[in-house]
């Protein structure tokens, strides 16, 4: 396995996880708040300060955590398949 495989695997996992996390946050917002999630939390006429900041914080946390988890899982799969971590994740002292 080479660097191209890792780029496709790592990036694909991160993008898919981010899309799923965003959908989960939007659905959860509708259930919890009883109204659609703000399309642009920074727009002053679309949501209040509290709603905008809360939605942005929840989205950022969920997407960031999902991307990190998916990338770690993809790296674990890569390491099991190739016998080593991708070069992009290797520490400098590991060669």
Give the residue extent of every domain in the chain: 46-86
Question: Does the predicted TM-score (pTM) go above 0.75?
Answer: yes
- pLDDT tens readout for residues 24-79: 999 999 999 999 999 999 999 988 999 999 999 999 999 999 999 999 999 999 99
Torsion (CA) 8, 10, 11, 17 in degrees, nearest 10: 130
C-beta of residue 32 within 8 angstroms of C-beta of residue 54: no
């Amino acid at each position: 396995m080479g660097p191209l495989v890792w780029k496709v695997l790592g990036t694909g996992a991160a993008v898919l996880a981010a899309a799923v996390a965003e959908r989960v946050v939007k659905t959860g917002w509708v259930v919890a708040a009883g109204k659609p999630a703000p399309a642009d939390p920074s727009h002053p006429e679309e949501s209040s300060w509290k709603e905008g900041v809360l939605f942005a914080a929840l989205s950022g946390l969920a997407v960031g955590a999902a991307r990190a988890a998916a990338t770690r899982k993809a790296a674990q799969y890569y390491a099991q398949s190739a016998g080593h971590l991708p070069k992009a994740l290797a520490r400098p002292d590991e060669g």
